[in-house]
Structure 1
Amino acid sequence: MRFVLAFLALAFPALAQDNALTIATYNVENLFDNADDPFHADEGTSPKSRAEMRILAKTIDTLGADVLAMQEVENLGVLRLLNTMLSKPYAFIGFLSTNDRRGIHTAVMSRVRIKRSMGHRHWPLEGKQKRFARGLPVFELEPSEGRTLLVAPVHFKSKRTLGKDKQGVRWRTAEANGVLEVLDDLRARGFCAPFVLLGDLNDERDSASLASLFDRLKDATAVASEENRYSYIWSGRKQQIDFVLYDGELAVKSARFVHDPDAASDHAPAMCTVSWPAPVRRVAAEIAGGAATSAELRRPQVDATDVHGMRSFLLQEVEAKGKVHSVERTKSGGHVLIKFGKDPRQSLTVFIPRGAVARFAGIDAWKGKGLTVVGPVFAYRGRLEIKLTRKEQLR
């Protein structure tokens, strides 16, 4: 497939020009829409609440990137929705389908023209036994007249957090080698522009699975300060698993990771600024930014004990109201479960992840009191839940 799937600008007014190009990557963590996709197992993943979407949009606005690669995007529709929530929306979106069973994809939003797209979701890996877990789209951008840049957003196979990860290591190793095969193929076909691979590699710089990539490609994030150079925290340990790697002539001016304890993702964005040999031609999108959504204006109101009624709104954002039956801590993980009935299969459960618990004072005192919670309803192990992460979700 060699065409860009979405152009959001019908007329192309120009923005300011200079010789610096800012490139960023951000794993936005489960950017799912509010519709059940019958072809993917998405009903067990909570879409972001509108409160979380606003926080996510604010973070992206803060980056100010000319080119933004994203991971864990469900589809083009939810990406367009997010774009309208930005104070300065992007003119171009590149999105191609991937192989992930859960339905997560990579994408690019850009202020410079996307000339073409090339998908590699069926590229054979490891003796044709595997494919890229989330594909390998390559977008040819044209930051200035006659000068192009190849951008490949990537999301390698996830790492298992329990037990050994032998299969994951083999898969990520095959993906790393596959990236280099694709790059060699592009070079052989006459694509001589600088190549940027950016995204969530799900492993660290010194891992065996990524060795071939770091032997061949340069790491733009290496110029970030050591104390700033991490993108993910697991069990209290800071680690960098998100990278901006490149092949070809690019002069990296600066790089940094944006750490925000109030962020709407478990990853930190990585960004770098490179010198471009000609003035960068940025394009403004002809759509209004900072928009509210129709879902916010017409939100269903439901009884927290009416599971049959709530199932008709699966994945949609609702206002659920009821009396709190119990407040419980999970045995591991530090999460909180707010239950509206004795049997969780017959009533709603509100899930507060450990990272959000500190935002709510006096949670234990909620027992026996009325509570209204706003958020998307999703299915988890036979029960219906709403994920509560922001005070704005309480009424």
Structure 2
Amino acid sequence: MRSKIIFFSLLVVFLVSCQRDPLKKKATIVFYNLENLFDTIDDPAIDDEEFLPEADKHWNTERYEKKLQDIAQVIAAINTEELPELIGVCEIENQAVLHDLVEEEPLADGNYQIVHIDSPDKRGIDVGLLYRKGEFKVLEEEAILVDPGFETRDILHVFGKLGKDKVHVFVNHWPSRWGGLEKSQPNRIVAAQTLKNKVDEILKDNAKAKIIIIGDMNDEPDNKSLAEVLDAQTPDSKADLYNLMIPLDEQNLGSYNYRGDWNMIDNIVVSASVLHGEGFVANNQLGQVFHQPWMEYHNKSAQMSPNRTYGGPNYYGGISDHFPVFLQLNWNK
């Protein structure tokens, strides 16, 4: 009788511990350019005058709250079974707007925590990472300076545990194409080289390191910065890094529409262990662009593009001028 009681007690302890620490089977990684998510408060330290109530855009609390609600609905719709575990974002003014975002329903149910470090960008637009507490644990975080002589966004590097897996996540927003593709290209090459140096350092220390690179690179997969400098290749090749947006890019699909042409400037790049390793691995070795009809704008010619918030000083009331991209991971061990 005593042995039966002991066995039953041990069984109860085991079942309770399993409930407290279930093995995570799936994970969703998202990147979303939020198109100038600014609050309405003047910050003398940055150039935010464009997004104040008295400016030409007439940015105000009502419009700000609508944008927050819309973004939250988009993120929640990417995986209707469960909120994403990791969400990289760019074009955010500060940490306060991220706090406001994660308090919106239905994101509030995800218990999201924030990693954000102010960058040297003179407009104040930064990158950040949202993660679900309990699903991801931050072990280290750092802002990688791209170029001391150029005021652009840092690269955010977060090392942590996703379930039982250790992963390096890099959130990027490389310099824009302002002034033209060729004239601005050297700036993005510097950003790519900065990232490549850090990735090489990680892989030298651990060839099986899991690395997930997400961001608005302002370049497409076949541009020099990504294809040559970062050396991110097709998922079916043999390389250190793979750009999972290449298959869609080859179908002339994209995350951003410029004057009627689709551009795949929001990219997801992973190391070999994310494709071929154990633990969390990429589902179908493919990144995805997410959009639904309620996120779209259709012009008079029936051409579709992301429904943006502004066009110059004109308020359109849309969500963002980018569609989010995402990656599904499955446990393979």
One of 37, 40, 47 as aligned partner of 1:31: 37
Q: Distance in 2 between matches of 1:114 and 1:232?
A: 31
Which of 58, 62, 66 is the aligned partner of 2:73?
58
TM-score (norm 1): 0.60
228 and 208 in structure 1: CA distance in 2 versus 1, 3 angstrom threshold: closer
1:194 is aligned, of 184, 199, 210, to 210
- Partner-residue secondary structure (3-state), 2:283: strand
Q: In 2, distance between residues paired with 1:70 and 1:118?
A: 16
Rounded Cα–Cα distance in structure 1 between residues aligned with 2:207 and 2:128: 21
Deviation at 1:59, TM superposition (A): 0.5
- Cα distance in 1, alignment partners of residues 205 and 36 from structure 2: 35
Over the matched positions of the two proteins, sequence identity in percent amounts to 23
2:186 maps to 1:170 = yes
Contact 1:231–1:268 (CA under 8 A) maintained in structure 2: yes
Confirm or deny: 8 A CA contact 1:139 1:150 kept in the other structure: yes
Gaps of 5+ in 1: 1-12, 279-395
CA–CA distance in 2 between the matches of 1:227 and 1:192? Answer: 31
C-alpha displacement of 1:173: 0.6
> Which residue number corresponds to residue 354 of structure 1?
none
What do residues 10-42 of structure 1 show as CA deviations (whole Å, max 9, x unaligned)?
xxx969754222111000111111211110001
Partner of 2:5: none
Q: CA deviation at 1:222?
A: 3.5
Aligned to 1:84: 103
Q: Distance in 1 between matches of 2:249 and 2:192?
A: 26
TM alignment of 1:216-227, pairs within 5 A: 216-224=240-248
**Which residue of structure 2 aligns with residue 104 of structure 1?**
125
| Structure 2 length-normalised TM | 0.70
Residue aligning to 1:318: none
- Structure 2, unmatched stretches of 5+, are 1-18, 52-58, 234-239, 276-281, 297-306, 308-317
RMSD, matched Cα: 2.6
5 Å-filtered alignment, 1:1-395, equals: 17-45=23-51, 46=59, 48-64=63-79, 65-87=84-106, 88-111=109-132, 112-122=135-145, 125=147, 129-130=149-150, 133-145=152-164, 147-160=165-178, 164-188=180-204, 193-210=209-226, 211-213=228-230, 214=232, 216-224=240-248, 229-251=253-275, 252-254=282-284, 255-259=287-291, 260-261=295-296, 262=307, 263-277=318-332
2:74 and 2:155 map into 1 onto residues whose CA distance is: 25
Corresponding pairs, count:
259
Are the counterparts in 1 of residues 144 and 157 from structure 2 also a CA contact under 8 Å? Answer: no
Contact 1:257 1:271 in 2 (8 A): yes
Work out the CA distance in 2 between the residues paired with 1:256 and 1:170: 28
Displacement of 1:182: 1.2
CA shift digits 1:156-186 (9 cap, x unpaired): 00112xx544442101011111101011233
CA offsets 1:338-383 (integer angstroms, 9 cap, x no match): xxxxxxxxxxxxxxxxxxxxxxxxxxxxxxxxxxxxxxxxxxxxxx
On the 8 A contact 1:92/1:113 being kept in 2, the answer is: no
Which of structures 1 and 2 has the larger relative contact order (alpha carbons within 8 angstroms, sep 6+)?
1
Change (3 A) 1:115 1:192: farther
Question: Quick one: structure 1 residues 42 and 117, their matched pair in 2 at CA, closer, same or farther if it must change by over 3 Å?
Answer: farther
Deviations 1:88-137 (A, max 9, x none): 334321111212110011111112223233324435x4xx6547x21011
Structure 1 CA distance, aligned partners of 2:267 and 2:94?
23
